[in-house]
Each structure stands twice: as C-alpha cells, then as structure tokens.
Amino acid sequence: MARSRSIGRKAFFKEKRFLIVLFCCLIVTFSFFSTISANAYNKTSSIVLMNGETGEILFEERADVKMEIASTTKILTALCVIENYDVFAIGSIPATAVGVEGSSIYLRKGDRWRVLDLLYGLMLRSGNDAAAALAVLTSGSIPSFAHLMNETARKIGALSSHFVNPHGLHDDAHYSTARDMALITSYALKCPIFAAICKTKTHSYSYENAEGERIKGVFYNKNKLLYSFEGATGVKTGYTKHSGRCLVSSAEREGKKLICVVLNVYDTYGVTKSLFEKYFSEETSLSDIR
C-alpha cells in the first residue's frame, strides 16, 4: 500500500512538473507571437495611385494594410499646424523639441523661429525636432497634438489610421494605410500654403537664437522626385528600419493631377515614376495599369 501511495505521489508531481513546463512554454510562445504581431505592419509593401482631382483609385496593391509610415506622417502634421495655428507667428522652441532622434534641423531651447520656417524645416529637411516644436506650439503638448491629428484624419475619412506622434518615429500604435495617406494628401494639397511648401526645392530662413543673434540658412528639399520628374509637385519622403522606404508623391501634367503612395518599397522613386508615366502617357483605367 505504501509503495502504491509513493508511486501515486511521483505520478502527481511528474504531472505537475509537466503542466508547469507546458504553461511556461505557452507564455513564451504567446510573448513571441505578440512581439511579432506588434511589429508586423511592414512585412509587405503597399501602393496606391489616386486621381488627385476625383479621388478615383487608379491602381492599388494591398492598399488597406496597416503600415508604419515613418516621416510621411509629417504631411498630416503640417496640415494640422496650418489649419490650427498662425503660420506667421514667432514661437520659442520648447525643451521637448531639442535633441529628438533622427532627422533634425538642430533646434535649441529658446531659439525664436517663425512657424512658417519651421514648416519648411519639417517638410523639406524632415526635421523631427521641427515636428515636436510645431506640435507643442500648436497644441501645448505632443499627446494633445496627436489627438488633433486623429480628429483631422477622421474628418478627412482616413478611418484606418492612428497617430501618436508628429514625426513618425517607431511606435506600435502609430500607423496608417496607403489609401488613407492618399486621402490625407489629397485633402492637404487643396491647402495653398501646404501645396506651396511641399513643392519648394530650396527655402531661405532666419531665426533669432537664445543669445539674441540673427542666424540665416537654407533648407534643401530631400525629395529627389522634384529634381528628376517633370511635373512633380511634392510631397514627402520617409524611412525607418521598421517602415522601410516610403514616399508620398504628387505630380501634374496638362491638367491631370496624380497622387502616389508607396510604403515599404525599396525603389520608391522608380515605382512612383513608372506609375506616373503610365498614367500621363495614356487614357488610363485600373485595368490598363494592371
């Protein structure tokens, strides 16, 4: 009888150990797949070609997949600032805008900039610090500005997007789709100030530093399409290791207006130019481009 109870106890503890090991394995497995899911936005590419006048989608490829969009975020950032703040106001650079990682226009706390010049620094040089400064100047804080971004996106009809920062640096909760970005861009290009900024190749600026000195400089646009494609009118480049190469573009020829969004496409310029040329050279329909 004693031997039977001993065997029973051993079987019980053996089964208990098995269940503990199984439980631990399930936790590790769940954590692994949670991590994969959290960072899975740009495991594929996404493309949309839109008629900028009518909103008709001329070509699409995985247009509704939620993707990280990197600095193309700044299209919505610029739009929110233009619609909700005085672009000719002079603003003092807050501490939260200093030393933001990635692309920078090297702002310093207490420097006094015209908001319009910060917008050029945002769109031409892709300054992450300019994005942070503009967000705080417009809404008082980055979370408040993100709320404004989401409200604006919903107003436009970009319902598959969620924004948590003004620059597009990696965050699992920050994403959009190619279709939504085309909608946002189409809306933004109807704003004359935005349209003028994003097609500008160079912009001269000046600001007053914290010591009271007047500093001058020039911004050069990073968007190579403006220099290499006839009729290009913007809009914004983007890249992080999570998003891959992204480009939102616009072009106009003979009264035809086009918006192209390519997300996580290595040859962003080549793909964009091919789609543009196809549209401009023919009376196209979706089936023609395919």
In a 13 Å sphere around the CA of 285, the CA atoms on its Cβ side amount to 1
Contacts of 270 by beta carbon, 8 Å cutoff, 6+ apart: none
Phi, psi of 90 (to 5 degrees): -105, 125
Question: Domain range spanning residue 218?
Answer: 45-289
Residue 15 lies in a domain: no
Tell me the HSE value of 187 on the side-chain side, using a 13 A CA sphere: 21
165 in any annotated domain:
yes
Residue 110 included in any domain: yes
Q: Is residue 27 part of a domain?
A: no
Question: Would you give per-residue pLDDT tens digits along the chain (290 residues)?
Answer: 444 444 455 544 455 555 544 444 443 333 333 322 333 357 899 999 999 999 999 999 999 999 999 999 999 999 999 999 999 999 999 999 999 999 999 999 999 999 999 999 999 999 999 999 999 999 999 999 999 999 999 999 999 999 999 999 999 999 999 999 999 999 999 999 999 999 999 999 999 999 999 999 999 999 999 999 999 999 999 999 999 999 999 999 999 999 999 999 999 999 999 999 999 987 544 444 44
In a domain, 32, yes or no: no
Residue 234 lies in a domain: yes
In a domain, residue 206? The reply is yes
65: in domain: yes
Q: What is the CATH number of the domain that holds 216?
A: 3.40.710.10
Number of domains in the chain: 1
Active site positions, annotated = 71, 74, 126
